[in-house]
Structure 1
């Protein structure tokens, strides 16, 4: 048997609609279409066209956004032998178990991934000239046609959107920003990521740092806006937690000082009678991370020596487990009667 010999012919009608329009040459052979017949149909003016190396669009017109996405994945994915493809379990969101596509070791990333995640500030899929695909660093692939290869030492866990394996939002953002020179466009994407509840600022900044993008002035400006946006949202969640879970009202955004002595530090919420403080940790990884962490630890140690209980909350905890965090604060307030009275401190507006 040579490369022109069809393998176990199977009809195409069992495939979902998109898979009847985009197939690899190996898949066509498994359905009884020889290499010679594929080449003939892909000639100029023919009924088919080769959209990427080894990937055929089974109609002569322009590719739709869905076809372009699936062609990119077929080109980049590690594919098993055609006769084994039918035994692979369907990906989440696949329309038909017989149409499972072995998209191993690849993820859509960048602007295409953000569009799939529902970002309104990302261009529509159909308007994108290229689809960014994240692959392991050692894969022997090259960017071509509508596919741009993005390499990584290790793939993050995929999200599946309508059956398409997509990079998580922080990684997709970093890959999108890497290709942007427009500061406003980068800022809009980063702001929507946080404001739309897709992810926390710290996760985005970690990816931007790993991609060595924080040296770009327009990225630094966008990150500063991102951090401010993230803190405002976290503060709003803290207000909601106190209100919705019936906690006593604290004093908000205060500075503590020792009587006649030095400044201790700022707090997001403080219950003076119970000597319980809440501090939001909205730090993001930056070059000054060690100094910020040292200052945070110093302040916490001073407060605890004074008998003040410090509850440390992150934006992620408030977003994902607000009720649990309310219970933590309530427990600290209830335990106040069992503790030694705290030292007297002066509470000032921040």
Structure 2
């Protein structure tokens, strides 16, 4: 008997090819294979092999990378859905009868997840000796073989990549960085996350902060580079938004001052005739900060209130908004520029290069 041999009473038509080659004890039992038969087939010289506790490869020889990833998720998952392991008929999902199997309470994370997300700088998947798998803290699992168990009090919503449950990029980065002592490797990973458009810097720093990794000097150094990279990319998105949506040219990166008075603050773009300003919010929480704390907004709020008392309209945008909805942001700016004709003239301010 091998993975091509029909198992009864439940057929394997709803499973993908790799899912037919990697099955748990419970799945085999649901397909009519007794525990004794499973042990017999997995003996030395038999047609099967036990790869992880309770997880069997229905062939001999080394597993493929896809089989390893699937096996790790089966080992860590409570009970994979869509496999009829519990005797419940599978229901075709939005992707049809071969929709990706879901793995409750388990997802690939760390370097393996980054490879699945399309990162180029992590080691190639076939070279990884360990595959990190994220599970709830309450799960009683141990790391064994190629499966390294990472626990968390709150699982993020997984992404489905190649039919596998995979941690979102910020969480996968944090789990990878936790295992890496090399500053250059950490810096390359964080830089690729932003340059490749995988996620925003703030989301990465938030995960690193929650993982308490910002006390490590080499991580802090990499984060500084990440934020500088993210700032440059956000500024480029802002330039592109103004150009592509036909907005009038502003003056870029300026400081405002009252004549003979105090410094009012720096702005990323300013239209002097209309007294309209755009300010990018590229802040990211650091260790000890609370993202929901009002203090994080205090500096921005004070500056905005002061400028608006002087008759200057401030449009506040984030890198994520510029990436996901540039047309909407351009409309907001255009509306502010058009509305300037109906406002009282602003106070006279001095515009200086920043």
TM-score over 0.5 for the alignment? yes
Note if contact 1:267-1:278 (Cα within 8 Å) is conserved in structure 2: yes
Residues 1:308 and 2:312 aligned together: yes
Where structure 1 has 5 or more consecutive residues not aligned to the other structure, the ranges are 1-6
Deviation at 1:141, TM superposition (A): 1.3
After TM superposition, the structure 1 stretch with the greater mean CA deviation from structure 2, 327-336 or 142-151, is 142-151
- Work out which of the residue numbers 326, 332, 342 in structure 1 matches 2:330: 326
Provide the rounded CA distance (Å) in 1 between the counterparts of 2:306 and 2:156.
39
Q: Which residue of 1 aligns with 2:31?
A: 31
Provide the rounded CA distance (Å) in 2 between the counterparts of 1:90 and 1:288.
46
Deviation at 1:293, TM superposition (A): 3.5
1:233-260 CA-to-partner distances (Å, cap 9, x unmatched) read 0000000000000000000000111111
Note if contact 1:55-1:75 (Cα within 8 Å) is conserved in structure 2: yes
Q: Which residue of 1 aligns with 2:139?
A: 139
Deviation at 1:20, TM superposition (A): 2.2
1:145-179 CA-to-partner distances (Å, cap 9, x unmatched) read 11111111121111111211111111111111111
Q: Which residue of 1 aligns with 2:3?
A: none
Provide the rounded CA distance (Å) in 2 between the counterparts of 1:14 and 1:317.
40
Note if contact 1:77-1:102 (Cα within 8 Å) is conserved in structure 2: no
1:268-323 CA-to-partner distances (Å, cap 9, x unmatched) read 00000000000000000014857663322221121111111000000000000000
Provide the rounded CA distance (Å) in 2 between the counterparts of 1:281 and 1:76.
39
Q: CA RMSD in A?
A: 2.1
Provide the rounded CA distance (Å) in 1 between the counterparts of 2:346 and 2:53.
72
Q: Which residue of 2 aligns with 1:4?
A: none
Provide the rounded CA distance (Å) in 2 between the counterparts of 1:319 and 1:334.
24
Q: Normalized against structure 1, the TM-score is what? A: 0.92
Deviation at 1:206, TM superposition (A): 0.5
Q: SS where residue 86 of structure 2 aligns?
A: helix
Residues 1:344 and 2:348 aligned together: yes
Q: Which residue of 2 aligns with 1:232?
A: 232
Deviation at 1:101, TM superposition (A): 3.8
Q: Normalized against structure 2, the TM-score is what? A: 0.91
Provide the rounded CA distance (Å) in 2 between the counterparts of 1:344 and 1:14.
71
Q: Which residue of 2 aligns with 1:3?
A: none
- Work out which of the residue numbers 90, 95, 98 in structure 2 matches 1:96: 98
1:86-114 CA-to-partner distances (Å, cap 9, x unmatched) read 524456768726xx745112111111111
1:210-233 CA-to-partner distances (Å, cap 9, x unmatched) read 000000111101100100000000
Q: Which residue of 2 aligns with 1:152?
A: 152
Query: Aligned pair in 2 of structure 1 residues 37, 292: CA closer, same or farther (>3 Å)?
Result: closer
Note if contact 1:254-1:267 (Cα within 8 Å) is conserved in structure 2: yes
Query: Aligned pair in 2 of structure 1 residues 51, 36: CA closer, same or farther (>3 Å)?
Result: same
Note if contact 1:88-1:102 (Cα within 8 Å) is conserved in structure 2: no
After TM superposition, the structure 1 stretch with the greater mean CA deviation from structure 2, 126-135 or 82-91, is 82-91
Provide the rounded CA distance (Å) in 1 between the counterparts of 2:84 and 2:227.
48
Deviation at 1:71, TM superposition (A): 0.3
Note if contact 1:92-1:163 (Cα within 8 Å) is conserved in structure 2: no
Query: Aligned pair in 2 of structure 1 residues 52, 151: CA closer, same or farther (>3 Å)?
Result: same
Provide the rounded CA distance (Å) in 2 between the counterparts of 1:280 and 1:29.
58
Where structure 2 has 5 or more consecutive residues not aligned to the other structure, the ranges are 1-6
